[in-house]
Structure 1
Amino acid sequence: MTARGIFNLWGDIIRSYRQVGSLRWLVLGIVVGILSGLLAVAFFAAVEFGKFMLLHKFSGMSLPAPAGEEIFHGAPGALRPWLIPIFTTITGLVTGWLVNKYIPETTSGGTDGTDATIKCFHQGAGLFRPIVPIIKGLTSVFTIASGGSAGREGPITQMGAGIGSWLAQKLGLSAKERRILLLSGAAGGLGAIFRAPLGGALTAIEVIYREDFEAEAVLPSVLSSVVAYSIFTFFYGTDPIFGIPHFSFHDPRELIFYTALAFACALAGWLYVRTFRFIKFSVFARLTDRVGLMWATAFGGLCMGLFGMFFPEVLAGGYGWLEMSIMGELPIMMMLTIVVGKTLATSVTIGSGMSGGMFAPALFVGGMTGGIVGQVAGKYYPDIVTQPGGYVLVGMAAFFAGVAKAPIGPLIMVCELTQGYGLLAPLMLASALCIVLGRSFSLYEHQVDNKFESPAHIEDATINILEQMKVGEHYIPGRVTTLEEGTTLKALTDIIANTNELYFPVKSEEGHISGILTIHNVRNVLFNQDLFDLILTKDLATKPAVLTCEDDLYTALLKFVDTDYGQIPVVSQDDPDTIIGIINREDVFRAYADSIRELGNEE
């Protein structure tokens, strides 16, 4: 190929990128996936190395690790559990100082990094200051590595979203495009860290709403997640997090116990969210007001460290304990104790202001809750419940679906973790029930119900905006030229010649509005003098249409669309035959445009 041919080909590619939306998102999704995948690789290595050094070597703690995550090996050091509260307290102290000095706005960012991303999508126009995910990422590494009860998923979501936002700003993209890349980066981080590309992508686009999902972000999010996952597995392999046997659903009677599981997860989810909110707002928020953020997070770190020193099952993410539960190696009372302990430990860690995610602890608590139900059911009905470990996996997805209102993504994640769809039916049932049972509470503070409730979709909320405005605020009051049904064409020509109006209400002999006469209807016969005395107004009028001052502009818009009129008379609320003014089609469009402009300026 000649140099000129290469130049022309490159020009075609550039034009396609600029003009073909799907190709553009394909390119951007891949780029974001590469960056978020590399970030996930570094973040995972930092967290695991930090845990290996601080908990395993220095503190001498031998915590179980899932089969797919133990990347550092070595004999534990001398047992020094008293180091754990020292590590967590220092981490809390440094975290509070860094946040208070450099990113104080994040103290109202919500539950965790995932919630901060949700807030940025809805309220921040997709703009993340680069320093925010940097500081949150670094402090999360030390929080988890020192033993804080937090997960990697929240921080990597925020860091991936920060990459998407940064790239969008560098490319000068619009607010809508920034938001889409924000979700794409979050999807890349989740897909990589969970080794679940489809589940990560779907979770990112649905967790921002309680009853909806961001359809426009599907393509770049899936691409980003797949690319990030591929990069992550290039370094760490394709084995799933848990080394577990294949689970399947084969007895319909077992759905009874999965229904019971859903109720148990809904109750545990309610306690999880209520406990977190109480500790965050009633304890640490008040403490922060009195002594400052730095000392509040230090106190939270101290409490977490002391708790973890005597109860190591609540330290860090805890996926190793989950794997043991799946394999049936934990007794029922131990799992029940872990559910309570993990709820308290996570609430203290994240509620005090330390960095980390609520995602992994939620899966942990849900999995243990499922393990309790599975073991109890298996003990009394062994012929029906033959694989109690499957209840742990279903509990993970159902619990998170209930507290985060994200049913599809976690469900797919569990299928990817088990590398099969054998548990699909109970997963769907339990997740759906948990969402219904948990409709009164939500883990993430900045979730909104749907797109119409989100400032990010103001321009899409045409119906909502028009329904809030009344005809009485936008019509033109005054005299309107009204015709009688018996008016002849000759008289009509004189009336039209002496007015600038284009639409005329027509009244019957009884005084009722019986139709609308438009200039378009008259045009073909207007100058035919032979018909002047033969054609009456009622012969030319079309169907009637009226509005009242109490009607909303959406009703008015529907009538304009239905009749194709440019004007509609406005009648009295008390007397539907008394015309008090007229409203133009342009008045509706202008009112909508002005409202959109005002809301955009507020944003």
Structure 2
Amino acid sequence: MNPRNVGSELSKRLLALSALTGAITGVGVAAFEWVTRDQIFERILGLPLPAQALFPLVGLALTAVALATVGRGATAATSDDYIRNFHERGRPLDLKPLPARLLGGLATLGTGGALGFEGPSLYLGASVGTLLDRLRPRRSARGRADSKVLMVAGAAAGVAAIFKAPATGAIFALESPYRDDNARRMLLPALLAAATGYLSAVTLLGTEPLFSVEGTPPFDLRELGGAVVLGLLCGVGARLFAWIIGWAKSMAATQAGWVRVLVAGGVMAALVVVSDLLFDEPLATGSGYRTLEWVTEPGHALPLVAALFTIRLFATTATVGGGGVGGLFVPLVIAGAVLGDAMSVVVDDRTTLFPLIGVAAFLGAGYRTPLAGVVFVAETTGRPGFVVPGLIASVASQLVMGSVSVSKYQIAGRAGHLERRLRLPVTSALDADVLAVPADADLASFHEHHLLARRQLDVPVVDANRYLGMLTVGAVGQVPREEWSERSAGEMADTHWPVGRLTWALEDAVRAMNEHEVETLPIVDDGQFVGVVTMSGLLHLDEILDSGEARPGPGTP
């Protein structure tokens, strides 16, 4: 068969699997949302206030139990796990934590944890894509290189389904792995999966938009200037948000389970009571859609808006620190909307312009996804008039963020092909099966067993696996042939030959070989010989990696 026809057939199959990934994910997300929000959280909201205040603690405790037992010690990470795995070449997303994380998400979000549904939704979709990826054939290196496509498509479908925003889902899945870039060669599968995921979800849940916005936003220099100022404020706020959430994640990872659950549950209980006193409803709990409804109502006092921002920030921090399962997309949306509402109060603007601009800017800054933030506002409101001021605010907020993000697994951007290879650990090109020459072997043995039999020009010399130096053809050639049986490899070893370490990257090995003008670099660990890296091996590294034959060397985690 023509190679082009094979590639076309594989592409069609990939798109078909993307559509299937989206459809399955959409149904799964709809079921998860219906059970968690409609059957659990809405019923808890009908209980007396003391019960509502205590339920977040119960949810965090149940989450801890689910992760420890069903997940066998799995973490609460969802979106972070997706971003981290995206950058792990050749390693599929681990599916074993999925049941525990879904149960944890149900417990956390159903009882009022202040996180978003998009975390479990994205992770569910990425897991579905990973599972279906195992069903497609690997007939080419290109097929192996595209092993993350269905995972990204599933993530796009999960976000699209939970927000009823297909373009947002696709863009977020492509933007979120990087701070200043986006994934490539995955756009069509992501768009198709997002579309089918959206259609599956709205078929079951309806098409009601997240935000109920009326009218067309004003569009003049005053509003554009306000968008710049608000964007800068959102950048500052998002930096603070990222720092606090980073601290909360470290607390969740280092503190004992019962300690973090009790402390976080106590904080949430206090916030529930305070928010009910201030707003006549416990706005501290839940993903925050009730908070958005409050924000879009005009006429709020600035101290009350500031109090709401603080309450929601503390509630999200407590939920993350308590080990809750959920996403940070919606908390960023809520923070941006509240900050935008504060701007509306300051400039006496009674429209929803600034809250929605704040959503785009704060979300784009926090997750370093400026396009996703703007498209999210346009899709969920159905008002494209917010796009231009939203873009301006997003750019301003990005300028403030620097390299900060709510996810520590994001990288700045896609590296070039050679640059990516040089960042790999030295074990990626390590030849651990090389035959070393014993120190007590004579030069005649080296000539017979290494030079003639194996074409080895530079050979490591070892004494009971302790590295001594390198024996080269040039050094042996300087010794008269009749003396070869009298001279040992140990006495002829070059002890000044450069040596590499297991902790090195390939760029360190290449630099050492270039500086000393050698073709072979011995790798040593605590004096013990491990293997060699050669220039010829580096030239064939792509073939090794794509064929799945790269083996981790000793000491590789």
Q: Quickly name the TM-score band, shorter chain normalised.
A: 0.7 to 0.9
Picking from 236, 247, 268, the partner of 1:278 is 247
Work out the CA distance in 2 between the residues paired with 1:231 and 1:468: 41
Picking from 14, 18, 21, the partner of 1:32 is 21
2:18–2:129 CA contact under 8 A, matched in 1: no
Please name the residue that 1:47 is paired with.
36
1:371–1:392 CA contact under 8 A, matched in 2: yes
Change (3 A) 1:17 1:320: farther
Q: TM-score, normalised to structure 1's length?
A: 0.67
2:51 matches 1:87: no
2:418 matches 1:462: yes
1:126–1:165 CA contact under 8 A, matched in 2: no
Per-residue CA shift, 1:241-291, capped at 9, x if unaligned? Answer: 11111333421232211111012111211221222223332x444432xxx
Work out the CA distance in 2 between the residues paired with 1:41 and 1:122: 29
2:210–2:381 CA contact under 8 A, matched in 1: no
2:355 matches 1:355: no
How far did 1:151 drift? Answer: 0.9
Larger radius of gyration: 1
Please name the residue that 1:332 is paired with.
302
2:22–2:197 CA contact under 8 A, matched in 1: yes
2:127 matches 1:162: yes
Which structure 2 residues correspond to residues 123-522 of structure 1 after superposition, within 5 A? 123=88, 125=90, 127-171=92-136, 176-281=145-250, 283-288=251-256, 293-311=257-275, 312-328=282-298, 330-377=300-347, 379=348, 388-452=351-415, 461-463=417-419, 465=421
Q: Which runs of 5+ in 2 are unaligned?
A: 276-281, 426-505, 508-512, 521-533
Classify the secondary structure of the residue corresponding to 2:286.
Answer: coil
Change (3 A) 1:17 1:46: farther
2:58–2:111 CA contact under 8 A, matched in 1: no
Picking from 86, 111, 129, the partner of 1:121 is 86
Question: Aligned letter for 2:538?
Answer: A
How far did 1:139 drift? Answer: 1.7
Classify the secondary structure of the residue corresponding to 2:186.
Answer: helix
How far did 1:310 drift? Answer: 3.3
Question: Aligned letter for 2:551?
Answer: N
1:155–1:356 CA contact under 8 A, matched in 2: yes
Work out the CA distance in 1 between the residues paired with 2:62 and 2:424: 49
How far did 1:218 drift? Answer: 0.7
Per-residue CA shift, 1:92-128, capped at 9, x if unaligned? Answer: 2221122123435643x7xx41111111222374523
Change (3 A) 1:93 1:125: farther
Work out the CA distance in 2 between the residues paired with 1:155 and 1:400: 18
Which structure 2 residues correspond to residues 15-30 of structure 1 after superposition, within 5 A? 19-30=8-19
Per-residue CA shift, 1:21-70, capped at 9, x if unaligned? Answer: 4322321111101111101110111122244554233x2xxxxxxxxxxx
2:100 matches 1:100: no
Per-residue CA shift, 1:202-247, capped at 9, x if unaligned? Answer: 1111101111111211111100000111111112222311111133
1:326–1:393 CA contact under 8 A, matched in 2: no
Please name the residue that 1:576 is paired with.
none
1:273–1:442 CA contact under 8 A, matched in 2: yes
Q: Which runs of 5+ in 1 are unaligned?
A: 1-10, 60-79, 380-384, 453-459, 470-552, 555-569, 574-579
Please name the residue that 2:539 is paired with.
592
Work out the CA distance in 2 between the residues paired with 1:231 and 1:160: 13
Q: 240-249 vs 197-206, which deviates more?
A: 240-249
Q: TM-score, normalised to structure 2's length?
A: 0.72
Change (3 A) 1:571 1:421: closer
2:18–2:190 CA contact under 8 A, matched in 1: yes
Change (3 A) 1:465 1:26: closer
2:179–2:403 CA contact under 8 A, matched in 1: no
